Amino acid sequence: MVAEHLAGACDTLDFIALTNHAQKPVFFEQHRMIEQARRILPGFPIFFGLEWNAPMGGHAGLVFPNGEREAENAYAFAAAHDRLGATTPSSVEAALDHLNALPAEERPVLFFNHPAAGQWSAESINRYLAADGASVEAAALVVGIEALHGHQAHAKVAAMDPYAYPGGAIGGLVDQVYACQRPFSLLLNSDFHVHKQERQPDYPLGVFNHVRVGVEAGHPPTPEAIFAGLRRGRTCASQGHWLDLGDFSVDDHFIGDTWMGGAGVLRVVFEATEAIEKVELIGKWQQNVAPAAQECLG
């Protein structure tokens, strides 16, 4: 199953992060599967993590840096702080203190998953950010949020209006964090349901959703560079693989660079595998103006 799951991934992706529910028995088997995947794709970054049943919210994704203690650290955290797996209740502060106590090279990144109504709120996210100790340059642990739904086999969620999804909606949870001048990554995942293949098969890796992470110019997409990009909010979330983004830049500033404002020429180049009626660019040109659809192409 592992080899079949990875088929074609190297053709479209630069890294893979695999997680599962922290309270499920398969969680303990998953790391051995990831070790097998790394043997199949040597040198290709494959990260291990968990879907945490978190305090003050629903699910949060934790992805650990590659290392000898990645599984040990993940298992210990889940046993102490997972809402459905731990023997005693935990808190936001206790959980993040646990992770911050790890050596710097072993600390994971955390993102809020499924930010639909009743899952995550501005109040709970603010409490996590306060406990995180991040700077305005880069996050420490809490790096971002799911921008659009990731459930492939959940028809009700799939029918949600992407413009109203709380993660990436204009004026939504992400914009509230941006208003505080903090880096915050827009992330997407593919919520696989491989145990339900007889009902509805999953898309291949990276086809339903994927994330583009900007690394420093001239640097290869190493695990360290990928984590640094996530912590600095250098991401672009893409649902589907219908657009092949060839260029997205302002003058000579590309994804991963910082544009300081002023006059500039925005360049967007992409190829599409199916007909497109229009493309809207959402954002804002002035600091004190609410984000909105700025341009409509097509």
Residues 19-68 have pLDDT tens digits of: 888 777 777 788 999 999 999 999 999 999 999 999 999 999 999 999 99
pTM here is 0.80
- CATH number assigned to the domain comprising residue 69: 3.20.20
Domain boundary among 241, 263, 286: 241
The per-residue pLDDT for 266 is 86
The per-residue pLDDT for 143 is 95
Looking at the fold, whether 117 and 261 belong to one and the same domain comes out as no
Per-residue confidence band for 247, with pLDDT thresholds at 50, 70 and 90: confident
Q: How many CB atoms lie within 10 A of CB 237?
A: 21
Q: Which residues pair with 186 in a beta bridge?
A: 145
Looking at the fold, whether 162 and 176 belong to one and the same domain comes out as yes
The amino acid at residue 12 is T
Alpha-carbon dihedral of residues 12, 15, 21, 23, nearest 10 degrees?
150
Domain boundary among 192, 223, 241: 241
Looking at the fold, whether 191 and 270 belong to one and the same domain comes out as no
Instruction: Enter the tokens of residue 203.
Output: 């898309």
Domain boundary among 217, 241, 265: 241
Looking at the fold, whether 253 and 237 belong to one and the same domain comes out as no
Looking at the fold, whether 158 and 272 belong to one and the same domain comes out as no
Looking at the fold, whether 263 and 237 belong to one and the same domain comes out as no
The domain of 288 spans: 246-298
Domain total of the chain:
2
The per-residue pLDDT for 32 is 92
Q: Which residues pair with 271 in a beta bridge?
A: 244
Looking at the fold, whether 27 and 71 belong to one and the same domain comes out as yes
d(CA 282, CA 164): 13
The per-residue pLDDT for 89 is 92
Q: How many CB atoms lie within 10 A of CB 83?
A: 17
Looking at the fold, whether 47 and 6 belong to one and the same domain comes out as yes
Looking at the fold, whether 58 and 140 belong to one and the same domain comes out as yes
Pick the most confident of 29-43, 135-149, 196-210, 275-289: 29-43
Looking at the fold, whether 183 and 161 belong to one and the same domain comes out as yes
Looking at the fold, whether 232 and 92 belong to one and the same domain comes out as yes
Per-residue confidence band for 118, with pLDDT thresholds at 50, 70 and 90: confident
Query: What is the mean pLDDT of the segment spanning 99-120?
Result: 90
Can you give the C-alpha Rg of the chain in angstroms? 19
CA distances, 102 to each of 69, 77, 240 (Å): 10, 11, 36
Task: Report the range of poorest mean pLDDT among 47-56, 72-81, 125-134, 193-202.
Answer: 193-202
Per-residue confidence band for 185, with pLDDT thresholds at 50, 70 and 90: very high
Looking at the fold, whether 288 and 194 belong to one and the same domain comes out as no
The terminus-to-terminus CA distance of the chain in angstroms comes to: 42
